[in-house]
Chain A
Amino acid sequence: MNKILVIIFMFCFNISKADQIVFTTDTTKIDVLKFYIQNLKINNWTDNQAHLIDLSEDKKFILNVPIKIKEGDYIKFTLGIDSITNASGVMSGDLDPTTGMYWTWQSGYINFKLEGTSPKSPARNNEFTFHLGGYIYPNNSSQQVKLQVKENKPVIINFSIQNFLKNINLENINHVMSPGLQAVELSKKAAKSFFIK
């Protein structure tokens, strides 16, 4: 009996087209999408390690988890790096600063990075850049995500770009690159943009 659960992370623009991998719609283009997940919990099984899920080039990120799962079970994880890890100085592997997910001008991990272009953004080259992080009160930005599994198969966790951008007015908010209340708000939106179809 195979005890390995395959979790596939992907992103989509549109929930109805969730299984297609597209980087560009007519209007929006995604250049970078990467984020950390930590404290993955499935039933009684917990994984404290942090994983950097990079969907910028590979389109799919596969995580193998040594546990069985059944329909109706929940997958829980933290989107981002918890404050204890953040306060611990330099680390290796997925947490090494060479991943580009560590701020250099101040201490702390970038939990979630989304960069792309949209005609709605008045910034240079229509760019938008969201580097979300911050671990010190009141700007703690890591979020809890809880998703219910619908099928006993490889689990596909999708991130909906449309959901995330839906309520963001790119005209006013197109660059968020430091901890603060705005980063916290956007992190909450990001956490709500994960779904299992």
Chain B
Amino acid sequence: MKKQAKIFLMALLVLTPEQKELFTTPEGWPPPIYNFSNNKLIPEKIRLGRFLFYDPILSENNSISCANCHSPYNAFAHSDHQLSHGIKDQIGDRNAPILINLAWHSSFMMDGAIHNLDVQALAPITHPKEMGSSINEVVRKLNQPIEYKEMFLQAYGDTLITGERILKAISQFLLTLNSYNSYYDKVTMTHDAVFKPNEENGYNLFKKYCNSCHTEPLFTNNSFETNGLSVDVTLKDYGRMRITKNAKDSLKFKVPTLRNLQFTSPYMHDGRFRTLNQVLDHYIIKQNIPLTLTEKQDIISFLMTLTDWKFIGDTSHLDPIRIRFIDTNKVSKHHK
């Protein structure tokens, strides 16, 4: 008996540090902006949020889940699609952004319309060109299957389903989507690797021309900037000005992170550039950056080191329903 108790205690000790690592701030990173004290991470809530994230029940006709435009296989971005997709084959108004390191964001949406991660999901759930539903409708539907009642019980201690609980659970899952194990991180943080000469040269050019907005280590400074793009006449999206109603903010959009950008093409808020070459050409012309063809290629080589292969395909982020059919040993471990 005594021995069993001892083993139990040891198991507890071993488990406790693991609990703390539901969220980690990597060394050298700024402290997260998200207020965890209002929504303390626990595995049961993360699990609930994960089910919700992958469940098309969130959309009006049960056809679209968050993962439709934020795919775990593409670092939670929407590769190859200029604009987001919604119910009934509708096309949205903006390029779906990558969902990583969200605890470090001071605002959400390309115009900063949303100030807190916990209320962000309301926008796609409600938008008629995205999920076309409402939080009330989601509450009503989630009250039907017994499985969700059980998950809410595990997460919150009772089976009550509210808007607040749904949204906070989705936040919990999103807060586990953190990417900081790229080749770049191995070189600069853990010093387990070195850049190739072309990557090194690209990194130096990056620091010279790009880092003021795409600031390390998050590769965004969270600000709104105009980068010389003219307005798309079919979308008439003036960005930040819609929120502030200040003409100074016309055509300003939130600076996106560049981490995992290999998966986030096409680029810009309206997905107008298909390749990084086109993006760099835009900056070379609009901001008068003198780059040779080789230098341009070196910057792209450097940007490719921002891909986090440990993050992409991480089974703890995949669809919890489909995961049963995936042999964890066979998930491809790509490396450049």
Interfacial residues, chain A to chain B (CB-CB below 8 A): 87-92, 96-98, 100, 102, 104-108, 139, 180
Spot the interface stretch: B109-117, B194-202, B261-269: B109-117
Asked if A97 and B122 make an inter-chain contact with CB atoms under 8 angstroms apart, the answer reads yes
B 93-133 to A, binary, CB cutoff 8 A, 1 in contact else 0:
00000000000000001000111111100110111000000
Q: Decide if B115 touches A90 in the complex (CB within 8 Å).
A: no
Q: How many residues of B contact A (CB 8 A)?
A: 26
Decide: A87 and B125 in contact? CB cutoff 8 A.
Answer: no
Q: Do B139 and A107 touch across chains, with their CB atoms under 8 A apart?
A: no
Asked whether B162 lies within 8 Å of A89 as measured between CB atoms, the reply is no
Contacts of B162 in A (CB 8 A): 92, 96, 98
Which residues does chain B contribute within 8 Å of A89, judged by CB atoms?
A: 35, 38-39, 116-119
B122 shortest CB reach to chain A, Å: 4
Q: Are A90 and B118 interface neighbours, CB within 8 A?
A: yes
**How far apart are the CA atoms of A101 and B113 in the complex, in Å?**
16
Segment of B18-26, B62-70, B163-171 in the binding face: B163-171
B136/A90 in contact, CB under 8 A: no
Chain B residues closer than 8 Å to A139, beta-carbon distance: 245
- Whether A90 contacts B123 by the Cβ 8 Å rule is no
Chain A CB within 8 A of B135 CB: yes
Report Cα–Cα, A108/B115, bound state, in Å: 9
Given the complex, which residues of A lie within 8 Å of B114, measured CB to CB?
106-107
Task: Check A98 against B116 for contact (C-beta < 8 Å).
Answer: no
CB distance from B40 to the nearest CB of A (A): 14
Q: Mark B34-60, 1 if CB is under 8 A from A, else 0.
A: 010011000000000000000000000
A-B pairs with lowest CB-CB distance, top 5: A106-B113, A89-B116, A104-B126, A89-B118, A90-B118
CB distance from A184 to the nearest CB of B (A): 12
Smallest beta-carbon distance B6→chain A, Å: 42
The CA of A96 and the CA of B161, in the complex, are separated in Å by 11
